[in-house]
Amino acid sequence: MPNMSLRKRVSSLRDSFRQRFGSEPAVVVRAPGRANLLGEHTDYNDGFVLPIAIDRSVLFAAAPRADRQVVLHALDLDASTAFSLDDLAPSSAQPWSNYQRGVAHFLQARGYRLQGLNAALTSDVPIGSGLSSSAAVEVAAAFAFRALNALDISLPDLALVCQQAEHEFAGVPCGIMDQFVSALGRRGHALLLDCRNLAYEHVPLPAGVRVVVCDTGVRRELAGSEYRVRRAQCEEAVRHLQAVLPGVQALRDVTPEQLAEHRALLPEVVYRRARHVVLATARMGQAVAALRLGDAVAFGQAMRDCHASLRDDYEVSCPELEALVDAANEVEGCYGSRLTGAGFGGCTVSLVAADAVSEFERHVVQRYRQQTGRETTVIVCAAEDGVGAI
């Protein structure tokens, strides 16, 4: 059942839908954002990631139409648009609707017949903060199409449709992690995902800890372009290594020992990008084992090591992220902290003892203000279920 805050959001969305469309929505879908605990920039290298679905979400209210039109209203933007399911292409005038357009396009490309719908949506996932607001929008829209058209499509396949929409309609060559955990998260658990074959396992979080997200307030202007650069550098590393390691398909297949042995084949910056991914892959097994044992200290150290690698080898941090991570690690009861998302702004994620959360928030807010002159928003997250109808 929704908590009280979610109940209020749902009630407000229903009211807005009635006012705009003159009828009740047939379905209200909730799709969560995500925070990634471990495994950053590994998803597009066929590696492993360990996100949670968080209790910040996109709500998508929808009802079927008798024609092939899709009419959308985004409450938070106070913007509306309409498009035909028979003429789907990205919109430069209404780019916020490209997620829904792309989802419809790729569902139909798989052979599903869709009817039009009226929809209103709202979100409390901060945009541009690294908590995957776009994936939540895609998954919410896809689930609504699935529900209203009685589509026989699994949640993993629905996540793949959403990833295609992000690639080709939104123009972001993302990995599968964001859409997958928004679709398949589980309350109280992290989701260990093998990004090569989409095998997944829900891993319980230790008792007595909280996942705390801190927003730098810095939007990630560089993230899109630099993301493409990093991805290309990883692909370059694979091409060099395949000359001596023909079984390598992606950096996930390279061991730390192999990378060290063949370092001379790689340009220095490409080597450092590859080292981040290779060590992150090696680190994941030990970190998940610690999580299964409830060892928050060992898992927190893995988070700290991950951040250092993202900062030094992958070079996707920024002064504001560093200030938040340093402040977090000064708090007794913070097991580990690191940037989450693509980097260059956005958020950090920290694993914090439940009884230390108040002091954590007080100290981090104060220190961040002193160090940067900026304010941070602190979000104490619960690991929530993935997409569903409310």
Domain ranges of the chain: 4-205, 209-381
- Show pLDDT as tens, one digit a residue, over the chain (390 residues): 346 589 999 999 999 999 999 999 999 999 999 999 999 999 889 999 999 999 999 999 999 999 999 999 999 999 999 999 999 999 999 999 999 999 999 999 999 999 999 999 999 987 766 688 999 999 999 999 999 999 999 999 999 999 999 999 988 877 789 999 999 999 999 999 999 999 999 999 999 999 999 999 987 665 568 888 999 999 999 999 999 999 999 999 999 999 999 999 999 999 999 999 999 999 999 999 999 999 999 999 999 999 999 999 999 999 999 999 999 999 999 999 999 888 888 889 999 999 999 999 999 999 999 999 999 999 999 899 999 999
pLDDT at 175: 77
CATH number of 4-205: 3.30.230.10
pLDDT at 225: 81
197 contact partners, CB below 8 Å, separation of at least 6 = none
Task: Please provide residue 360's backbone torsions phi and psi, each rounded to the nearest 5 degrees.
Answer: -55, -50
pLDDT at 129: 63
Asked if 4-205 and 209-381 have one fold, the answer is no
Known catalytic residues? 178
CATH number of 209-381: 3.30.70.890
pLDDT at 1: 39
pLDDT at 25: 98
